[in-house]
Amino acid sequence: MTGSDDINSRKAASGWGTQTVPDPWEAGLRKVAQGGDRAEFRKIFDHFAPLIKAFLMKGMSAYADRSMAEEMTQEVMLKVWNKAASFNSGKASVNTWIFTIARNTRIDFIRRNERADRSIDIEDIWHEADSPEPLVDLQQRRVEAVIRNALSTLPEEQALVLEKAFIDSKSHNEIAEELDLPLGTVKSRIRLALNKLQILIDR
Amino acid sequence: MISYHPDSRFLTDFAAANLPLSEAVCVSAHLEFCGKCRAHVQQLADIGGHMLSRLQPQEVEKTSFERLMSRIGSGDGAQQAVADAILPTPSVAASEPVVAVEESSRASAAGVFLPRALRRLSAGGLHNLSWVQLGNALRVAPVRISGDVRETAIYDIKAGGRMPEHEHRGEEITVLLKGSFSDAEGSYNRGDFVVRNAGEAHQPMATQDTDCICLVSLEKPVRPRAWFYRLLEPYVQYRLQKTLEQNTAF
């Protein structure tokens, strides 16, 4: 893929490439994209499918049972195979990329379940954003290492609200209701956590 | 220059896909204009990625991989991968919002940049939507996003046009797609994501030189202040409802 080659050469030129931890799944996924490498895909499957199933069982407990989670895990992994060529290592790690595919599959399923019409496509809303500026890419990779390290040092109450948001699929309002907290408290806990992860949103 | 952005609540709920669709469409529209917020959403998705990787794995069925590979083997293999990597080509290049070519006729707003999420619905152009004309300065194209209780619409305010002063009964999100408008609080330009809350009243006015086109998501219908418009309201609601049906007819 020329896109990611560009980004890799920029990374090398700026000397930042060495500061990021190599993504253990990137090379394998590229082999899947280029040659349909089934052995590499098997490794990716063995690692990620049980995680995706866990994610779907937690985030969709109101909609899907274990066997449905199994079916949807298949859907997610099918998309991983089909979309492997669109993976851009300059934008996201394989972890993050697979999370976004699982997240979109989950919300698509909920919409189908609600018999919503299909005039709006989920992939048009939560699309893989068009390539951000190179500088953003580099900062992106740096912050990702910070997120990985800082996530385990968060105070429990902050880690809990993030987990409710990203894994249990709860909005700020739903978290406030569930934990019986004012909305403002949930918002400030998430903001404090994001600041520690160096995700500095102005508002 | 974009000055108004979604706050951490909108961006987090968006990145975790916990935002109702009408609001998600608005955030998504803003992201198409704003590289900074795109980067934030990507960082927030990284939280999801790391949390995914730390979950207690749930064993998949023994035959799961073989079953998947037989599905892949039966027709959609590597060829499919290439086809899927190429997103459906939108009518307007997605990476760079395109400013509308100024047209003398208001009816021809085909060149206006539309958020990706709404291109399918409008079949590529604003002129394909059904509009309700409300007074001289404003026309509205209500858009149905099913499964969502909020009202979503595209507003087209004529250059220099003034909207009736109105009060919000719930939250209102406005994303400017073209032109600019101002109210007592400030002035807003293309790409801005503006939130008004219940109880706030304002009277937006489009700038003199160009029409203003906005994507609007309302938690509850607004209430016009003037008695004249209040009398008209049921009629307006009726017409919006009829038009809404036309904008979902496919």
- pLDDT above 50 for A160: yes
Which one has a higher pLDDT value, B239 or A167?
Answer: A167
A94/A159 same-domain check: no
Q: Which among B147, B156, B90 is positioned nearest to B124, based on CA atoms? A: B90
A125/A197 same-domain check: no
Radius of gyration of chain B (CA): 21
pLDDT value for A9: 43
Q: Which among A189, A111, A106 is positioned nearest to A155, based on CA atoms? A: A189
What is the domain-level CATH number for residue B122? 2.60.120.10
**pTM for this model (two decimals):** 0.83
Burial class (CB in 10 A: 0-12, 13-18, 19+), B111: middle
Burial annotation A161-200 (CB, 10 A radius, 16+ → b, else e)? bbbbbbbbbbbbebbbeebebeeeebbebbbebbebbebe
A52/A101 same-domain check: yes
Taking chain A, what is the end-to-end CA distance rounded to the nearest angstrom? 36
Residue A53 tokens read as 């199933």
Q: What is the pLDDT of residues B83-106, one digit of tens each?
A: 444 333 333 333 333 333 333 333
B112 — pLDDT class (breaks 50, 70, 90) = low
pLDDT mean over B219-232: 68
pLDDT value for B184: 84
pLDDT mean over B225-246: 71
d(CA B129, CA B131): 6
> How confident is the prediction for chain B on average, in pLDDT?
78
In order of A12, A25, A34, A103, A128, the CA distances from A87 in angstroms are: 19, 11, 11, 16, 9
User: Could A203 and B8 be called an inter-chain contact, meaning their C-beta atoms sit closer than 8 Å?
Assistant: yes
Judge whether B202 and B161 are in contact, CB under 8 Å.
no
- pLDDT above 70 for B1: yes
Q: What is the pLDDT of residues A127-155, one digit of tens each?
A: 765 545 545 555 666 667 788 888 989 99
> How confident is the prediction for chain A on average, in pLDDT?
83
Q: Which among A64, A126, A109, A105 is positioned nearest to B13, based on CA atoms? A: A126
- Look up the domain containing B68 and give its range: 1-250
Residue A118 lies in a domain: yes
d(CA A164, CA A147): 17
Residue A137 lies in a domain: no
What is the domain-level CATH number for residue A97? 1.10.1740.10
B227 — pLDDT class (breaks 50, 70, 90) = low
Q: What is the pLDDT of residues A109-131, one digit of tens each?
A: 888 777 666 567 788 888 765 54
A-interface mutation test, from B18, B28, B61, B171, most A Cβ less than 10 A away: B18
pLDDT mean over B169-177: 90
Judge whether B67 and A74 are in contact, CB under 8 Å.
yes
Burial class (CB in 10 A: 0-12, 13-18, 19+), A2: exposed
Which ipTM was obtained for this model?
Answer: 0.85
A161/A99 same-domain check: no
User: Could A93 and B81 be called an inter-chain contact, meaning their C-beta atoms sit closer than 8 Å?
Assistant: no
d(CA A53, CA A184): 32
CA angle B147, A129, B212 (to 5 degrees): 70
A-interface mutation test, from B2, B31, B33, B47, most A Cβ less than 10 A away: B47
Between A73, A117, A129, which is nearest B60 by CB? A73
A75/A173 same-domain check: no
A110/A161 same-domain check: no
Q: What is the pLDDT of residues A46-101, one digit of tens each?
A: 999 999 999 999 988 777 788 899 999 999 999 999 999 999 887 888 999 999 99
pLDDT mean over B3-32: 94
What whole-number percentage of chain B has pLDDT above 90? Answer: 33
Judge whether B98 and B111 are in contact, CB under 8 Å.
yes
Judge whether B137 and B206 are in contact, CB under 8 Å.
yes
What is the domain-level CATH number for residue A158? 1.10.10.10
A19 — pLDDT class (breaks 50, 70, 90) = very low
pLDDT mean over B76-82: 45
A63 in contact with B, Cβ within 8 Å: no
Residue A140 lies in a domain: no
A17/A100 same-domain check: yes
pLDDT mean over A22-38: 92
A-interface mutation test, from B52, B120, B171, B248, most A Cβ less than 10 A away: B52
- pLDDT above 90 for A8: no
A107/A193 same-domain check: no
B5 — pLDDT class (breaks 50, 70, 90) = very high
Q: Which among A25, A6, A155 is positioned nearest to A80, based on CA atoms? A: A25
pLDDT mean over B37-64: 93
- The structural domain count of chain A equals 2
What whole-number percentage of chain B has pLDDT above 70? Answer: 76
Residue A144 lies in a domain: no
- pLDDT above 80 for B151: yes
In order of A25, A80, A190, B5, the CA distances from A95 in angstroms are: 8, 11, 21, 27
Residue A196 lies in a domain: yes
- pLDDT above 70 for B79: no
Lowest mean pLDDT among B23-32, B54-63, B144-153, B167-176: B144-153
Residues of A in contact with B93 (CB under 8 A): none
Q: Measured between CA atoms, how close is A15 to chain B, in angstroms?
A: 21
The number of C-alpha atoms within 13 Å of A79 and in the hemisphere containing its C-beta is 19
Q: What is the pLDDT of residues B21-31, one digit of tens each?
A: 889 999 999 99
d(CA B148, CA B141): 17
pLDDT mean over B141-145: 84
The helix (H) or strand (E) run that includes residue B116 is helix B116-119
- The structural domain count of chain B equals 1
Sheet holding B166-167, edge to edge: B201-202, B166-167, B223-224
Q: What is the pLDDT of residues B183-208, one digit of tens each?
A: 888 899 999 999 988 878 778 888 88
Residues of A in contact with B25 (CB under 8 A): 120, 125
- pLDDT above 60 for B110: no
pLDDT value for A186: 97
Residue A142 lies in a domain: no
A111/A20 same-domain check: yes
Q: Measured between CA atoms, how close is B14 to chain A, in angstroms?
A: 8
Residues of B in contact with A116 (CB under 8 A): 146-147
A72 CB-near residues (< 8 Å, 6+ apart): A56, A60, A64, A105, A106, A109
pLDDT value for B67: 94
- Look up the domain containing A105 and give its range: 2-131
Helix H segments across chain A? Answer: 2-14, 26-35, 38-59, 66-83, 94-113, 122-125, 134-151, 156-166, 172-179, 183-196
d(CA B121, CA B250): 9
What whole-number percentage of chain A has pLDDT above 90? Answer: 54
pLDDT mean over A192-201: 90
